[in-house]
Amino acid sequence: MFLFLPILCGISHFDKEYDQTPAHNNIYCPNCHNFSVRPIKRREFFAVYWVPIVPLYWGKQLHCPICNWRQDFKNQAELDKVLTEQNNIKRN
């Protein structure tokens, strides 16, 4: 007997806000040149039937919701460095 069971699998992801600090809103996007980038916490899983099984990515990113540009950052120090560079861009 041949039994066909389709197994639906894919990648599901969960984005959470990094924090509520107003200075972390509206960071300059180097891709689409809008001030729309925000830091997020991102988790990606390999999922079967929409059930997350295997974690593929677990980390913090800068994300632009307009053009979907992303860049990883590891810790608060790296985020602070980006924000310092941002202030230089806004002054010019």
- Residues in contact with Zn ion by CB under 5 A are 29, 31-32, 64, 66-67, 69
Cβ atoms < 10 Å from Cβ of 12: 16
**Closest distance to Zn ion from the beta carbon of 45 (Å):** 25
Nearer Cβ to Zn ion (69/73): 69
Nearer Cβ to Zn ion (62/79): 62
Maximum Cα interatomic distance, the chain, rounded to a whole number of Å: 72
**Distance separating alpha carbons of residues 16 and 41, to the nearest angstrom:** 5
Helix ranges, 1-92 (H)? 76-91
Nearer Cβ to Zn ion (56/67): 67
Six token digits for residue 57: 């990515």
**Closest distance to Zn ion from the beta carbon of 24 (Å):** 16
**Closest distance to Zn ion from the beta carbon of 15 (Å):** 15
